[in-house]
Amino acid sequence: MSEPSGGKSVTLHDVAREAGVSLITASRALSNPGLVSAKTIARVQQAVETTGYIPNLLAGGLKSRRSLTVAALVPNIAVAQFIPTVKALTDALDAAGYQLILGQTGYDHAREEALLGTMISRRPDGIVVTGLVHAQASRDRLRRSGIPVVETWDLSDRPVDMAVGFSHLKVGSAVAGYFLGKGWRRFGIATGDDHRAAVRREGFLSTLGHEVPTVRVPSPSSLGLGRQALRDLLALDPGIEAVFCSSDQLAQGVMEEARARGLRVPQDLAICGFGDADFAADMAPALTTVQIDGAGIGRLAADLVLARCRGEAVSAPVVDVGFRVVERGST
Amino acid sequence: MSEPSGGKSVTLHDVAREAGVSLITASRALSNPGLVSAKTIARVQQAVETTGYIPNLLAGGLKSRRSLTVAALVPNIAVAQFIPTVKALTDALDAAGYQLILGQTGYDHAREEALLGTMISRRPDGIVVTGLVHAQASRDRLRRSGIPVVETWDLSDRPVDMAVGFSHLKVGSAVAGYFLGKGWRRFGIATGDDHRAAVRREGFLSTLGHEVPTVRVPSPSSLGLGRQALRDLLALDPGIEAVFCSSDQLAQGVMEEARARGLRVPQDLAICGFGDADFAADMAPALTTVQIDGAGIGRLAADLVLARCRGEAVSAPVVDVGFRVVERGST
DNA sequence: CTGTTAGCGCCTTCAA
DNA sequence: TTGAAGGCGCTAACAG
């Protein structure tokens, strides 16, 4: 308990000396015990205890070229949407001995490019990005780095490397189709200002065949922004029958504002969100929304990266996890 | 654009050769340009361009003993409470060239201890943990590692190293005092099953002087769990006048359930949350809650770690960021 | 301002 | 089963 705390930190060299074996034998006893006799292993482990040795993964990684880290880039960790993905990714990686290095791009290409450089300089064994990498320079750099890359929450014909996501265009189409099937004809859109939400809107409009009153709010969206969005939408068209929101947080705000104005949901105003957040099913009325398996995306991304790390061939580098319009009381 | 992608990766050695300077001069041109002539810097930068060099921070860190990483341990990234802290921490560190390595302890001491070992083996320049480190073995190990440590979201007389937080006991007391001041006498508590929420409950009870019907729900708490909690609380005591919730998510659920039962808030049931989530002020009625500056905690933690990294003496290693009971419509 | 010399702590390759 | 040598890519420390 009173180890030499002030001096230099304990290295494998100290452990080897304490155990009376060579450096490399100590190394093998810890990281490749199959090659070492049981007695020696015991001695080395004893030496680890008495010296308080903690291995230095940086040093090991320099030679072995495995850092046991994976970089994850999200636009903004405060966007609730991506939390289940980050959590599942972290959990799956941790179970395999890998840790996650987190970076935020702020929905900005220049920032993303700079951050990718920083991340590559840490030599992660994999890079998981939210959304597709659009800047060509970044795509080239990633490819040249040789690091396995998974683009998530979107799909592409030509991913940088691998992809796990779904079609935002189809999501928009599906919601429009669902609304039309219910007999509604006057719509509004409340949307965050990010690229993928814009694509969902495009899908919605293309199925509809015409423009729709739209209110844009900054990311991350919130209940308060949803309330404001409905106020603005009703100012644009007081006769709106149904609103498509780019997040469940916005949808919750729209519902709150509708309630405050004495509008009945769904009779006077129908609402559809996106994401199936943890609160969506328990609202009153429960929120109709587009369910995305965010945790599944994280797990799959981890699986792909880990498979590459083990040198396995990945048979399906692009995975469509799909989505589902979940009908509940708000429509 | 058609660099040697298959072969070995480009090292500083290649850059130096390309630029016609020695290895160390190339190194300095990039990381310490003040010591190198402008002409040489330009030549080296040109060589970086043509070779597509990306530095290897692991190798540099081995010698310089700075990994430019900080480890952050949270119980669970899905607990909304901590997101602003993680975000602010990430942003502040990024601005200083540091990246964050994320780990989840799952509110479990054994898991925390194992994770701390893993993190220390990555030689981060700082470790930020959520809550206090309780296991003595972990505390000892952290101290011996010599790595700057900041415990957050709580306070202690004897932190491992540094701390940024507030007193959960005082929070509970303050809410009880506030409730009593409003003239209410019959209370309920809806709480997550984590240690700090339990301490807030203790503070509440000690100011009150007697027990109170309590419903515990698993973490992370949610709107759905809040609805269930109110059902259970009213089963324990149908005459409850005010409920103290351990999170705003729970409080939102309690409010939703109250509304569903035709209880008026606050006339029939008053509600106080904890955390001042982004939706709290925009609910109808707006939610009375305990405001914590989560982003401020993250920024301060980053400041403390970075100060230590620069070798500066930290004059106030324990910072109480306090809290504020924000009165809104729900009480 | 630039270069030479030694490693950082560990792991891979070869030999015993 | 164990050991000795060498090097991963880079940077402190000292010279020039």
Q: Cα–Cα–Cα angle for B81, B84, B85, nearest 5°?
A: 90
> What mean pLDDT is predicted for residues B307-320?
91
pLDDT category of residue A4 using cuts at 50, 70 and 90? very low
pLDDT category of residue B64 using cuts at 50, 70 and 90? confident
Domain B168-291 adopts which CATH fold?
A: Rossmann fold (3.40.50)
What are the two backbone dihedrals, phi and then psi, of residue A245, each rounded to the nearest 5 degrees?
-110, 150
Size of the A and B interface in Cβ pairs below 8 Å? 160
Output the six-digit token pair for A36.
């070492």
Residue A217 has pLDDT above 70, yes or no: yes
pTM of this structure:
0.94
Nearest protein residue by Cα to C1' of nucleotide D11: B63
Q: Look up the CATH number of domain A67-166+294-321.
A: 3.40.50.2300
If we measure between CA atoms, which residue out of A221, A231, A278 comes closest to residue A251?
A221
Distance CA A149, CA B231 (A): 47
- The 10s digit of each residue's pLDDT in A25-80 is 999 999 888 888 888 989 999 999 999 899 999 998 888 888 999 999 999 999 99
Q: Report the distance from CA of residue A282 to the C1' of nucleotide C14 in Å, as an integer.
A: 66
CB atoms within 10 A of CB A248: 27
Q: Cα–Cα–Cα angle for B144, B103, B116, nearest 5°?
A: 20
CA of A52: which chain B residue's CA is closest?
B141
Residue B159 has pLDDT above 80, yes or no: yes
How far away is chain B from the Cα of A51, in angstroms, using its nearest Cα? 11
- The 10s digit of each residue's pLDDT in B219-241 is 999 999 999 999 999 999 999 99
Domain boundaries, chain B: 5-55, 67-166+294-321, 168-291
Long-range contacts of A17-24 (CB under 8 A, 24+ apart): A18/A47, A18/A50, A18/A51, A19/A43, A19/A44, A19/A46, A19/A47
For strand C, give the nucleotides within 7 A of a protein CB.
1-13
Domain spanning A5-55, CATH architecture: Orthogonal Bundle (1.10)
- pLDDT, residue A8, reads 62
- pLDDT, residue B4, reads 35
pLDDT category of residue B65 using cuts at 50, 70 and 90? confident
Cβ atoms of A81 and B70 within 8 Å: the answer is: no
If we measure between CA atoms, which residue out of B114, B33, B27, B104 comes closest to residue B72?
B104
Distance CA A293, CA A84 (A): 9
**Does B168-291 match B67-166+294-321 at the fold level?**
yes
Distance CA B250, CA B203 (A): 19
Q: Decide: CB of A102 under 7 A of nucleic strand C.
A: no
Cβ atoms of B254 and B245 within 8 Å: the answer is: yes
- The 10s digit of each residue's pLDDT in B171-196 is 999 999 999 999 999 999 999 999 99
Distance CA B223, CA B254 (A): 8
Share the mean pLDDT of chain B. 94
- pLDDT, residue A275, reads 98
For strand D, give the nucleotides within 7 A of a protein CB.
1-13
- pLDDT, residue B281, reads 98
Which nucleotide does the CA of A65 lie closest to, via C1'? D8
Nearest by CB to residue A59, choosing from B62, B140, B279, is B62
Which nucleotide does the CA of B65 lie closest to, via C1'? C8
